[in-house]
Structures are given as C-alpha cells and as structure tokens.
Amino acid sequence: MKNFTSLKDVDKLEKLIQSGLSLKENPLEHISLGKGKTLGLIFFNASLRTRLSTQKAAQNLGMQTLVMNFDNDGWKLEFEDGATMNGNTQEHIKDAVQVLGQYCDIIGIRSFAGLKNLKEDYQEKMLSHFINESKVPIVSLESAIRHPLQSLADLMTINEFKENEKPKVVLSWAPHPKALPQAVANSFAEWALGAGFDLTITHPKGLELSKEFTTGATIEYDQEKALEDADFVYVKNWSAFDNYGAIIQDDNWTMTEEKMELTNNASFMHCLPIRRNVVATDEVIENEKSLVLEQANNRTYAAQAVLKTILENE
Ligand code: CP
C-alpha cells in the first residue's frame, strides 16, 4: 500500500480488518516499527476522533506526530498551475506539500467537502494535489467524498459483532440541522459492499447517493420496510445531489427505539459526533445494542493497521 485514500488502495480487505483486530489485542507489538519516523496530520476542519485516534495509532507504532490545523494556522493555498499570485492566496499547494514531505515520512490529510459545488467536491481537488505532489505516502483522514479510516473501523466493528457471514446491513439517512458531506455514507456503502455484506440503503426520494458507491445495494425508500430483518443499522445524514448543500429536516427519519424493534435485534451504528434526539434518540444511542463507542475505539486500530502496512511496504 503506497497511499490510503479509498478501498481501491487496499489489496486484501479481510487481511487489513484482521490486522486491525490483532493490533487491538496487542497494540504495542510493533512499537519499534515506526521508530525515527514522523506522521504529519493536516486538518482543514474540526475533528476529535480522527485527530486523536490517528496520533495514538502512530504512537503505538513508535512514530512521532506533527499536527497542524491548516485552515486557521496555514497560509491561504493556491491551486492553479501558473497562477500569478498577486491576490489572496499566499502559498502554492505544490510548495506546501513538498515542504511537508521534508518533515514527515507519511502525511495524513483531512480535506472535507466544501458543500457548495458537487462537481468540485467530487474532483477531490485538495486530496488529488496531495497525492500528485507528495513524494511520501498520503493517508486520507476524510476527503470531500470518502472517509476510509472510518469505514475500516466500521467493518472491524461489524466483524466483531456479526453472527452470520452475510449480515443484513442498513444504511439509513437521518435529519440534521446542518448540511453534511456524503463522505461517510459513500465510504460505508463502498466498504460494506466490498466486504460482501447484504446492504440496503434507505432515504427519502431525492437523497440518492452516487451509483459509483451504491451499485450492488438495495435502495428502499420506505425506512420501516428497509429495517425489517436488519442485523446492523448505520444511521447518517448526507446532502442531496440536487440542491447540494441544502439543509433537509425530516424528523420522521430520526432513528427511534420503536423503529429498531422492527429489526432482527440489530446493532445501532454511527460514526460520531451525533446530534442526539435529531439523528437518533438518546435511548437508541445508549442502548446495549449501540456500537458507537466500539466504532470510535476501533478508529485507533484501523489507523494503526493502515500505518503499519505502509511502514512495512517502505
Ligand atoms: N468520525 C469522525 O471522523 O470523527 P471526527 O470528525 O471527530 O474526527
């Protein structure tokens, strides 16, 4: 693995999942692997889990970390080749990425979606520049349209709790007071289908995700019907393609205990942070079948499995 930015970068998914679960059992087993190496973590938006779990993962492998909130503390970046930089932009992306590569052996980048222009977000401008300009491996800490470290942690969690080889997994849209990216939902669909799970996606009409991510899944607009026989229910808000970035509030889609009772005693999943009693009720989030803290815990070992694979390949 040179970079880790999507499922396409993973040679053997099951092996990577098992590596993460094995590291969870013995986190310091490879404490010497990253000795003398530095992981740079560059953030363009807020983060709790990704920022701290990836630092912890690096420390478990003996790596040092450098962390920078680029949106507040960095220079304003220019992306156009050949630009005459006599306006607001202060540093060209290609200079910034190459300098970062002098300080770091691996760079993690959280670029996030702008949520103003769907086409621009799907071009992954920031992540693509990092991949193209960097001489050191790039790890996505969530890009405009994917969140692969979250998805790896989610698949590790399902593997730990599944009771049959092909569980029915339902990805259900939820209301939210702010517009959110499609990244978590896209990635979860991509990885769940990659793992061979029986995936149903349910959402109001007009909130379809890209077929690039959902081909192979069942789309069911009736949420209650979708929940029947579910083994895992993953709840997440995402923005629509049409009217991209608009806020859609439909409280009928909040996940409740009554809806969870329609399932096959399903486990509840969410990547966190979660808007309580909007996305799901307190009772659902705190139910014994809720896996949200397990997912957050697995973020460390997912990141550790990815960093270990990259370090071993160097
Ligand atoms: N799930 C997740 O990525 O959380 P943070 O945004 O806090 O990193």
Q: Over its length of 314 residues, how does the chain's per-residue pLDDT go in tens digits?
A: 999 999 999 999 999 999 999 999 999 999 999 999 999 999 999 999 999 999 999 999 999 999 999 999 999 999 999 999 999 999 999 999 999 999 999 999 999 899 999 999 999 999 999 999 999 999 999 999 999 999 999 999 999 999 999 999 999 999 999 999 999 999 999 999 999 999 999 999 999 999 999 999 999 999 999 999 999 999 999 998 888 988 888 999 999 999 999 999 999 999 999 999 999 999 999 999 999 999 999 999 999 999 999 999 98
pLDDT of residue 243: 84
- Same domain as 201, residue 132: no
- Pocket test residue of 44, 45, 47, 140 for ligand 1, highest count of atoms within 8 A of CB: 47
Residue 1 lies in a domain: no
- Same domain as 129, residue 208: no
- Same domain as 159, residue 128: no
pLDDT of residue 249: 84
State the closest ligand 1 atom to the C-alpha of 147, by its place in the atom list counted from 1.
3
HSE on the CB side for 195, CA within 13 Å?
Answer: 30
Minimum CA distance residue for ligand 1 atom 1: 271
Residue 92: CATH number of its domain: 3.40.50.1370
Residue 100 lies in a domain: yes
Expressed in angstroms and rounded, the spacing between residue 272 Cα and the centre of ligand 1 is 6
192-230 burial string, b = 16+ CB within 10 Å, else e?
bbebebbbbbbbeeebbbeeebbeebeebeebeebbeeb
Residue 2 lies in a domain: no
Minimum CA distance residue for ligand 1 atom 3: 50
- Same domain as 79, residue 175: no
292 in contact with ligand 1, CB cutoff 6 A: no
* Of 300, 47, 288, 11, the residue nearest 184 (C-alpha): 47
259-295 burial string, b = 16+ CB within 10 Å, else e?
bbebbeebbbbbbeebbeebbbbeebbeeeebbbebb
* Of 91, 92, 41, 83, the residue nearest 64 (C-alpha): 41
* Of 63, 195, 190, the residue nearest 137 (C-alpha): 63
Expressed in angstroms and rounded, the spacing between residue 48 Cα and the centre of ligand 1 is 6
- Same domain as 137, residue 174: no
Calpha distance 168→165 (Å, rounded): 10
Residue 195 lies in a domain: yes
- Same domain as 263, residue 175: yes
pLDDT of residue 241: 83
CB 291 within 8 A of CB 267: yes
DSSP assignment letter at 234: E
Helices (H), the chain: 13-25, 49-60, 70-73, 93-103, 118-122, 125-133, 148-161, 183-194, 211-214, 223-227, 257-260, 282-285, 292-313
Residue 260 lies in a domain: yes
Residue 252 lies in a domain: yes
Calpha distance 4→6 (Å, rounded): 6
Contacts of 275 (CB under 8 A, 6+ apart): 176, 177
Domain that holds residue 37: 7-146+299-313
295 in contact with ligand 1, CB cutoff 6 A: no
Residue 22 lies in a domain: yes
- Same domain as 163, residue 137: no
- Same domain as 137, residue 267: no
Calpha distance 123→143 (Å, rounded): 10
Q: How many CB atoms lie within 10 A of CB 9?
A: 19
- Same domain as 217, residue 156: yes
Q: Tell me the C-alpha to C-alpha distance, in Å, between residue 170 and each of 198, 229, 230, 258.
A: 8, 10, 6, 16
54 in contact with ligand 1, CB cutoff 6 A: no
State the closest ligand 1 atom to the C-alpha of 51, by its place in the atom list counted from 1.
8
State the closest ligand 1 atom to the C-alpha of 110, by its place in the atom list counted from 1.
8
- Same domain as 198, residue 95: no
Contacts of 81 (CB under 8 A, 6+ apart): none
- Same domain as 209, residue 83: no
* Of 227, 280, 287, the residue nearest 255 (C-alpha): 280
Q: Could you give the number of structural domains in the chain?
A: 2
- Same domain as 303, residue 212: no
* Of 68, 143, 76, 147, the residue nearest 113 (C-alpha): 143
